Amino acid sequence: MVKVKTIIAPKKDCKVLLHSCCAPCSGEVIQAMIKSGINLTIFFYNPNIHPKKEYEIRKNENIKYAKKVGINFIDADYDVQNWFKRAKGLELEPERGKRCTMCFDMRFERTALYAYENGFDIITSSLGISRWKNMQQINDCGEKAASKYSGITYWTYNWRKDGGSSRMYEIAKEENFYKQEFYGCIYSLRDKNNWRLQNGKQEIEIGKNYY
């Protein structure tokens, strides 16, 4: 059994809306909040994920885990065509570049709006726990989205610290979560497959590998 840390929320008795990108990244975040007595709800809004099969696998893993730990789960719209419109002209941007900023903005804007309309005080995201992501980029987008709504704060907690990243993988193995092999969007899938082919590896098989 993984030993979970305790954390302190930004406000006493607050309601936290957690934007979840996937179950593996969220496992440590969710467990830490539950152990700390924080009132949280999961918000799944990730129209970037491609193809639809990959999206459904990631979403259903998240739903299954939420039910297991007794946390409310909000299934938001998969408005993928809106995402593609916003990504137009950014198709060749590198990882952590302008396309990622656009993507974080889009997902956090919807998260902040839902929080504002449904009585939440705090929004945060599991995205920052991954060492492959730029935490400052994520936090900047989260704070920008929250600033548009009175009473909403983006929680910039560093989920990686105190062994958070290590526990993320331990929990993923313990729960046998689906193992995602690319960041999520069609362009990251393209780039990862190109890298694999250049290095003599097979292309990614959707829905195959688990921790």
Exposed, middle or buried, 205 (CB in 10 Å: 0-12/13-18/19+)?
A: exposed
Evaluate whether 47 touches 56 at the Cβ level (below 8 Å).
no
- Return phi, psi of residue 141, to 5°: -65, -40
Q: Report the C-alpha gap between 63 and 33 in whole angstroms.
A: 17
Residue 73's SS3 state is strand
Query: Is 14 one of the annotated binding-site residues?
Result: no
Residue 197's SS3 state is helix
Query: Is 25 one of the annotated binding-site residues?
Result: no
Query: Is 22 one of the annotated binding-site residues?
Result: yes
Query: Is 21 one of the annotated binding-site residues?
Result: yes
Q: What's the one-letter identity of residue 133? A: K
**53's tokens:** 């099969």
How many CB atoms are closer than 10 A to CB 15? 16
DSSP letters along 92-158, please? TPPTTSHHHHHHHHHHHHHHHHHHHHTT-SEEEESGGG-TTS-HHHHHHHHHHHHTTSTT-EE----
- Could you list the residues known to form a binding site, using ranges: 21-22, 100, 103
- Could you list the residues known to form a binding site for [4Fe-4S] cluster, using ranges: 21-22, 100, 103
